[in-house]
């Protein structure tokens, strides 16, 4: 069985679907044409057939005016509105004339396919449109042969990639066409194939099909994408596959270790339904902010400071939505400039002690942002010219002083 794949991810869609839909174009998997010959209502006569009809009052209302538009283009536009993937079985080019005001995308879909004497089945976000006699109860378990066009990636490399991902399908490269691949699989598998091709078939990947995989255990891949967006990591090219998140974004891959650490920190039960946000601190380190936030007694709150919690100023907060405002307020109140004080941070003795402290002072100033003028070196405290002793002390806020001390500890140069 061959089919046309109308997908919300297809490229080249040009459509005005705000008040009036006039025309649209889309990319399809090619297939042979066969006539349609059944109505939506007649689907109930097919033994075991399943029809899912949405609440007529749900969804955003739209108005359409389709004049001589290809049926595949109309379905492609509706797929985008419904956030779904639509498979059109054995299509011939059919022109559609359709008008509707103040209706939902679901209602429009049903009216359009009814006007063409077709029916549909739905499984999750996959909708199959075709003659009722071809839509069987076990359709979503059947193996469908579909052609996918490629523009940048050789079919042989795409076949290798699809095989590595373990999809329930068989990929076949057609030698006579270097820009296409035939895939046989279930409707669910073909949906994933379309998403993968959309993610990788671009000019950037002509040299390499590099990608990274994150396996989730506590949250779904969909939720992981949502959480990453909430903390400033917007994924553009990715595929959700079972409990795996496959990332193809070149920019994200360049800092994958950081992103992977973030995913591991977000992959907790508490992140399933809770709000996640990142608070940018100015005066205190993320680790200190996390410690102080615990003193507020928010039992349902989890904080994550990144690897260098003593030096970083970004604090990730996971909390119930109703607590977000309170937490942001608490963080603002603690992240204020405190009164300056003075404290010793480092002692050096012996030959060249003053020179070593002077060099350390310059380095600490660069790392901490504390002006050199606030870092002072004492006079010789030993009174012995042959064995001098000096102390580096800081005049700053307690938070800045602690930052300087932490930097000294990090370098392993703290003297007792």
Could you tell me if 93 and 158 lie in one domain?
no
Q: The CATH number of the domain where 394 resides is what?
A: 3.30.1370
The domain boundary, picked from 267, 301, 334, lies at 334
Q: Quote the pLDDT of residue 355.
A: 92
Do 277 and 251 lie in one domain? The reply is yes
Res 31 pLDDT > 60: no
308 with 225, same domain: the answer is yes
Query: What pLDDT is attached to residue 364?
Result: 92
Residue 101 CA to residue 61 CA, distance in Å, equals 8
Amino acid 377: pLDDT: 93
Q: Are residues 42 and 149 in the same domain?
A: no
pLDDT: which is higher, 188 or 69: 69
Mean pLDDT of 329-347: 87
Task: For residue 256, tell me if it sits in a domain.
Answer: yes
Region 143-167: mean pLDDT is 80
Tell me, yes or no, whether 368 and 275 share the same domain: no
Band (pLDDT 50/70/90 cuts) for residue 349 is very high
Q: What tens digit of pLDDT does each residue of 72-96 get?
A: 888 888 888 888 888 887 667 888 8
Q: Are residues 237 and 327 in the same domain?
A: yes
In this structure, of 29-43, 164-178, 189-203, 251-265, the range with the lowest mean pLDDT score is: 29-43
pLDDT at 30: 34
Residue 202 lies in a domain: no
The residue among 125, 140, 155 that closes a domain is: 140
Whether the predicted pLDDT of 8 surpasses 60? no
Same domain, 377 and 356: yes
- The confidence band for 2, taking pLDDT boundaries of 50, 70 and 90, is low
User: pLDDT at position 91, please?
Assistant: 62
Whether residues 66 and 152 share a domain: the answer is no
Q: Who wins on pLDDT, 175 or 282?
A: 282
Q: What is the domain range of residue 400?
A: 341-411
The predicted pLDDT at position 228 comes to 87
- Number of domains forming the structure of the chain: 4
- Domain membership of residue 208 (yes or no) is no
Residue with the two structure tokens 């691949």: 181
Looking at 191-200, 211-220, 372-381, which range is the least confident one? 191-200
What is the distance, to the nearest Å, from the Cα of residue 236 to the centroid of all Cα atoms in its chain? 7
Mean pLDDT over residues 210-221, rounded? 89
- Residue 119 forms part of a structural domain: yes
Looking at residue 347, its pLDDT comes to 92
Percent pLDDT > 90 in the chain is 12
* 105 plus 186 within the same structural domain: no
Residue where a domain stops, chosen among 193, 226, 260? 193
Residue 206 domain flag? no
pLDDT of residue 137: 57
Res 14: pLDDT: 33
In this structure, is the dihedral angle defined by the CA atoms of residues 35, 40, 46 and 47, taken in order, positive or negative? positive
pLDDT-derived band at 16 (thresholds 50, 70, 90) equals: very low
Question: Over the chain, what is the mean pLDDT?
Answer: 76
- Report the pLDDT value the prediction gives residue 415, as an integer from 0 to 100: 46
Model pLDDT, residue 205: 61
Cα separation of 309 and 26, whole Å? 48
Section 11-35 average pLDDT: 30
| 164 in any annotated domain | yes
- What is the tens place of the pLDDT at every residue in 362-399? 999 998 888 999 999 999 998 888 899 999 999 988 88
Shared domain check, 271 and 226: yes
| Position 401 pLDDT exceeds 80 | yes
* C-alpha angle 244-245-247 in degrees, rounded to nearest 5: 145
382 shares its domain with 328: no
Tens of pLDDT, residues 284-328: 888 888 888 888 888 788 888 765 667 777 888 888 888 888 899
Q: What is the pLDDT of residue 175?
A: 59
> What is the spatial distance between Cα 99 and Cα 334, in angstroms, rounded to a whole number?
59
Q: Give me the CATH number covering residue 112.
A: 3.55.50.30
Shared domain check, 373 and 322 = no
Query: Is 198 part of any domain?
Result: no
Residue 207 lies in a domain: no
């Amino acid at each position: 069985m061959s089919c046309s794949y109308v997908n919300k991810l297809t490229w080249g869609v040009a459509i005005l679907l705000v008040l009036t839909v006039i025309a649209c174009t889309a990319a399809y998997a090619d297939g042979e044409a066969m006539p349609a010959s059944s109505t939506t209502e007649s689907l109930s006569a097919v033994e075991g057939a399943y029809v899912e009809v949405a609440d007529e009052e749900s969804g955003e209302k739209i108005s359409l005016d389709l004049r001589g538009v290809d049926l595949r283009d109309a379905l492609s536009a509706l797929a985008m509105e419904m956030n779904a993937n639509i498979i059109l079985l054995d299509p011939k080019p059919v022109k559609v004339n359709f008008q509707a005001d103040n209706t939902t995308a679901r209602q429009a879909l049903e009216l359009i396919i009814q006007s063409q004497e077709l029916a549909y089945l739905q499984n999750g976000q996959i909708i199959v449109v075709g003659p009722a006699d071809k839509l069987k109860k076990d359709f979503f378990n059947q193996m469908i042969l579909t052609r996918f066009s490629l523009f940048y990636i050789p079919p042989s490399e795409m076949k290798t990639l699809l095989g590595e991902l373990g999809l329930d399908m068989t990929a076949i490269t057609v030698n006579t066409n270097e820009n296409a691949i035939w895939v046989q699989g279930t409707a669910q598998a073909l949906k994933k194939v379309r998403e993968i091709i959309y993610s990788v078939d671009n000019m950037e990947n002509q040299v390499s099909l590099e990608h990274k995989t994150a396996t989730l255990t506590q949250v779904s891949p969909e939720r992981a994408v949502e959480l990453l967006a909430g903390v400033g990591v917007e994924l553009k090219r990715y595929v959700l596959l079972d409990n795996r998140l496959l990332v193809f974004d070149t920019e994200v891959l360049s800092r994958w270790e950081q992103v992977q650490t973030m995913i591991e920190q977000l992959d907790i039960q508490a992140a399933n339904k809770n709000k996640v946000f990142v608070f940018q601190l100015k005066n205190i380190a993320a680790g200190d902010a996390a410690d102080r936030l615990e003193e507020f007694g928010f039992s349902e709150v989890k904080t994550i400071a990144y690897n260098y919690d003593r030096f970083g100023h970004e604090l990730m907060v996971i909390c119930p939505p109703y607590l977000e405002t309170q937490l942001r307020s608490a963080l603002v109140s603690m992240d204020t400039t405190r009164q300056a004080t003075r404290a010793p941070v480092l002692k050096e003795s012996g030959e060249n002690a003053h020179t070593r402290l002077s060099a350390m002072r310059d380095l600490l100033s660069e790392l901490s942002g504390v002006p050199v003028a606030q870092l002072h070196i004492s006079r010789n405290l030993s009174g012995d010219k042959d064995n001098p002793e000096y102390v580096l002390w800081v005049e700053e806020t307690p938070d800045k002083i602690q930052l300087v001390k932490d930097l000294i500890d990090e370098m392993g140069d703290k003297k007792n």
